[in-house]
Chains A and B, each alone.
Chain A
Amino acid sequence: MPIQLTVAVLLILSAIGYWIGRQRAMSVSGGRVASLHSVPNYYGSFVAVWAGIPALLLVLFFLMLKGPVIEMLVLGAMSPDAVLSWAKASISPNDFQALSTAGIAGADALAETQRNLMMINIRNLATGQERFVNPAVVDALLPAAQHMQHLEATSRWSLFAICMAIAAGALFITHRKITPQFRARNNVERVVTWGLIVCSVIAILTTVGIVLSLLFESMRFFARVSPVEFLFGLQWSPQTAIRADQVGASGAFGAIPLFTGTLLIATVAMAVALPLGLLSAIYLSEYAPRRVRDTVKPVLEILAGIPTVVYGFFAILTVAPFVRDMGVALGLPVSSNSALAAGIVMGIMIVPFVSSLSDDVINAVPQSLRDGSYGLGATRSETIRQVILPAALPGIVGAFLLAVSRAIGETMIVVMAAGMAANLTFNPLDAVTTVTVQIAALLTGDQEFESAKTLSAFALGFVLFFATLALNVVALRVVQKYREKYD
């Protein structure tokens, strides 16, 4: 019984419910529709909503929990022999030695990584993808795989049965509730309002999801690597040993070089974006004739609409070679993926962001201050520099912080144009790597789950999330204070 079918049947039942509810309402009204509290459609909707939604929610709930629960059951039921014979063929001899001498009671004895590997084998067997499974372990895992198949089938049938029962029960009860006095519309509207609330709560759920997932994975990382080493260590080389007996690859997780690399590139980006963005905003809002403003502004906005992957390509294709050639011409050693090139391109990307924020801020300075300054015989530039900019300073600081937050969170440009080597340097001509580059590098391509290397990406994500969050909160507060001042 595939889940899709259950959902389809529920939808059909719900549609039938609509029709039944309408009919029922018509008949209890005795042909005088006006005697009903609500129009008949609402009685239909009332039945349809209750026949469909509770059961559909159950399906959703089932889908979310089915996987983990079935895995737990399958693993729990596995015999120690099966686990051991799988381990013999799958894990390193040393590990196996340790495992077998300890004398195990079941799958719990395996390390988390190993257990997940075994689970993948079982799942492949159960879904008929035997070709991905080492033939040596098929026999040992077959019972577990069959158990899994059995559980899958049972769970789906029970889900179907329960859903049908719920839907039928709801149909029956709601059908009986329909009388001319029954307030179907209020009932339906209450349900809809709750639906709206649930939709708005998704924003909170997303934040909670982000925080929790980053927190949990980071905790697992910090169980392996101390937070002190991570936050203050100067050496970053996340290549951990694949086998414990391997030499010289213990991995180092000092993230300072990543933080400095991120800041270096962000600094270059801001050094490009702030003057360009601020001066364009000033020119457009204080000097440019209306026609110029109306054409130039949208053109600048195009820069904001270009996907970052395009900027990344532009950086490696044009800007990085140019920067390197300039370096060669000046006799400076420039890395082919220098922080300077990545930073310049990132700066260009941020220009429209800075310029539109500054534009808002500058326009919020009241005209009376400009008049006061012009009335004293100041020129435009004197007014801008000595009255408008100081008055707009808090707003500009806020815009600056928002732009910095965007620069440190930007990924594609640096993934493509910045380096991979974690150099601890402040020379923009060198290659540096950033937090986002490392996250992307650690989590793309082949990855070992559960290794410190993979988990470190989440710890970096955690730092990134809270750094940008802090910047945004501070920036928004500064901007808001500023707005209030001139409202």
Chain B
Amino acid sequence: MTDIVANPIAANTGFHRTEAAEKRLRRRYAAEQRFKIYGIIAITLAIGMLVLLLFTILRNGVTAFQQTAIQLEVTLDPAVIDPKGTGNPADWDRAAFQDLVHDALYKEFPDVSRGDRRELRRMISPVAGVFLGNQVLKDPSMLGQTVSVWLPASDPINQIVKGRIDRELPEANRPVSDQQLAWLDQLRERGDSKTIFNSTFFTASDSNYPELAGLWGSVVGSIFTLAVTLVLALPIGVAAAVYLEEFAPKNKFTDLIEVNINNLAAVPSIVFGLLGLAVFLNFFGMPRSAPLVGGMVIALMSLPTIIIASRAALKAVPPSIREAALGMGASKLQTVWHHVLPLAMPGILTGTIIAMAQALGETAPLLMIGMNAFVTAPPTGLLSSSSVLPVQIYIWADAPERGFVELTSAAIMILLIFLITMNGIAIYLRKKFERRW
């Protein structure tokens, strides 16, 4: 080595082919391999987490589409249901249905002592009467008859049947007693208990009872909110993009606009919620929990995304098209309206759909304007109280009942399906209209 130092640049020393160099080379390649493996590990971890997340949601969510039901012979005594005897459903005693359900349950298990009836009642959902009432409402001829109906089991029974609570656990550690398990097994032997498709999940709105809780209300709320967002953000965003890309002179003012747009894109979403609360609710006195306000807040959030995507799409239209139209005597506005905008439209739509997909998953700002209200019916208009899909997920994730874990996961599955569909459409549009000039 001293040789080299003495004459470091003497060529043909053959140093690179010595034993020492070979050894060093092997070490360097080992380092190379290690470095490469770090990269593979990083990617594997990231993708592994994604898979774990999706797997967790799927495993917890699929059972939500099933509901354990118990078949009971209910005697629909008109004297109990319609004490006033008017025959008008508005005068019915809706609470009486639950009592009838309980009576039917006692008949199903005649040997159960009065003292154990409390435990027996916990087999059936505390809102089974609501289901029964709805059925009778649909078919009032049932009144006065003894009918056999399938009614939802209580949440703990439901969880046991689906195996989400281990029945092998010691009695003290599970919400279902040994006695109840025995009754359940009896019901199953007689064929009086089975799992049925949980249509409530798709048709009902929020509820305190997992058996009665559904996603419909928040889906409608999300649709209303997104509609407001789209109606506001798309035209305003495209107009702003057209101005900045096609008309704006290069000056301090347009610079300011651009800086603003870029910064808004990075403002935390909850700050937009504060804006909505302070300006739309407190200053303008708009109603809380309304899809209109939610849509407005999210429109402000989506604007930067739509503007940036639209500008990129406009920029991609080659200048020759503009020159051709201007050369034919069209005004600048006509050029843009007739030629540039139609060509940029696929790009703009793709960007808009992606922005809408983000908007659909947005939660924090909507909490600020009260869209986490407990709403048991779908909204009827833009100003009525409403929830949205992601907020419903948040509310359910917080609920103590075991049954809400699977409902939350199932709601996430629905949300992800919406998102995948929207992104899929965006990718399809991009592929289909991709154009190289």
Contacts and interface: CB of A to CB of B under 8 A. Distances in A.
Interface of A: 63-64, 67-68, 185, 189, 192-193, 195-197, 199-204, 206-207, 209-210, 213-214, 216-217, 275-280, 282-284, 287, 296, 299-300, 302-303, 305-314, 316-318, 348, 351-352, 355, 379-382, 384-385, 402, 405-406, 408-412, 415-416, 436, 439-440, 443-444, 449, 457-458, 461, 464-465, 468-469, 472-473, 476
Contacts of A309: 361, 363, 390-391, 393-394, 397
B364 A440 contact: yes
Max chain A CB contacts within 10 Å: which of B45, B271, B398, B412?
Answer: B271
B268 to A, nearest CB: 3
B368 A443 contact: yes
A196 B240 contact: yes
B60 A405 contact: no
Contact of A314 (B31, B53, B391, B405): B53
B394 A416 contact: yes
A-side interface mostly: helix
22 contacts: A189-B331, A199-B236, A203-B240, A203-B304, A204-B257, A210-B272, A276-B45, A299-B50, A303-B46, A307-B363, A309-B394, A312-B394, A314-B57, A318-B52, A355-B46, A381-B31, A415-B367, A436-B268, A440-B270, A444-B368, A464-B270, A468-B267
Question: Which 3 A/B pairs are nearest by Cβ-Cβ distance?
Answer: A409-B268, A283-B39, A307-B361
A392 B277 CA distance: 42
A296 B303 contact: no
Contacts of B38: 279, 283
Interface stretch (B191-199, B200-208, B243-251): B243-251
Contacts, number: 255
B86 interface: no
Given A309-B393, A469-B266, 13 more contacts: A67-B284, A203-B303, A207-B260, A276-B46, A279-B38, A283-B40, A305-B419, A306-B416, A411-B268, A415-B364, A440-B367, A443-B274, A472-B266
Nearest to B242: A196
B53 A310 contact: yes
A308 B363 contact: yes
Nearest to B394: A309
Contact of B260 (A196, A203, A299, A449): A203
A464 B273 CA distance: 13
Q: Which residue among A276, A355, A411, A465 has the maximum number of chain B CB atoms within 10 Å of its CB?
A: A411
B247 A202 contact: no
A67 B282 CA distance: 11
Contacts of A444: 367-368, 370, 372
Nearest to A318: B56
Contacts of A464: 268, 270-271
Given A214-B274, A300-B46, A200 B394 contact: no
Given A381-B35, A464-B270, A436 B364 contact: yes
Contacts of A411: 268-270, 363-364
A265 to B, nearest CB: 14
B312 to A, nearest CB: 15
A364 to B, nearest CB: 18
Given A196-B247, A280-B46, A303-B46, A436 B261 contact: no
Nearest to B367: A444
A381 B394 CA distance: 44
A357 B107 CA distance: 68
Contacts of A210: 267, 271-272, 274-275
Given A280-B39, A280-B42, A439-B270, A214 B278 contact: yes
B270 A409 contact: yes
B32 A300 contact: no
A476 B258 CA distance: 13
A202 B236 contact: yes
Contact of A381 (B32, B282, B391): B32
B29 A379 contact: yes
Contact of A64 (B53, B272, B284, B307): B284
A379 to B, nearest CB: 5
Interface string B305-335: 0010000000000000000000000011100
A203 B39 contact: no
Contact of A465 (B41, B60, B271, B284): B271
B378 to A, nearest CB: 20
B270 A461 contact: yes
Given A213-B274, A472-B263, A310 B240 contact: no
Nearest to B282: A449
Nearest to A468: B268
Contacts of B257: 200-201, 203-204
A216 B277 CA distance: 13
Nearest to A199: B239
Given A217-B278, A439-B274, A348 B49 contact: yes
Given A196-B239, A213-B278, A317-B405, A67 B247 contact: no
Nearest to B40: A283
Interface in B281-318: 282-285, 300, 303-304, 307
B407 to A, nearest CB: 11
B6 interface: no
Contacts of B53: 306, 310-311, 314, 318
**Most chain-A Cβ atoms within 10 A of its Cβ — which of B260, B263, B266, B268?**
B268
B174 interface: no
B408 to A, nearest CB: 6
B98 interface: no
A203 B332 CA distance: 24
B361 A202 contact: no
A213 B279 contact: yes
Given A202-B303, A213-B274, A312-B397, A382 B28 contact: yes
A391 B28 CA distance: 22
Contacts of A299: 47, 50
B264 interface: yes
B103 interface: no
B73 interface: no
B425 interface: no
A443 B371 CA distance: 12
Given A314-B56, A472-B263, A200 B32 contact: no
A353 B302 CA distance: 18
B389 to A, nearest CB: 9
Nearest to B365: A411
Nearest to A405: B266
Given A200-B257, A440-B367, A384 B57 contact: no
B412 A313 contact: yes
Nearest to B300: A206
Nearest to A216: B278
Contacts of B236: 199, 202
A310 B264 contact: no
B35 A385 contact: yes
A459 B355 CA distance: 29
B23 to A, nearest CB: 15
Contacts of B398: 416
Nearest to B235: A199
Contacts of A203: 240, 257, 260-261, 264, 303-304, 307
A63 B273 CA distance: 21
B270 A199 contact: no
B428 to A, nearest CB: 14
A415 B364 CA distance: 9
B43 A283 contact: yes
B423 A476 contact: no
Contacts of B412: 310, 313
Most chain A beta carbons < 10 A, residue from B31, B46, B278, B307: B46
Interface in B368-426: 368, 370, 372, 390-391, 393-394, 397-398, 405, 408-409, 412, 415-416, 419, 423
Nearest to B233: A202
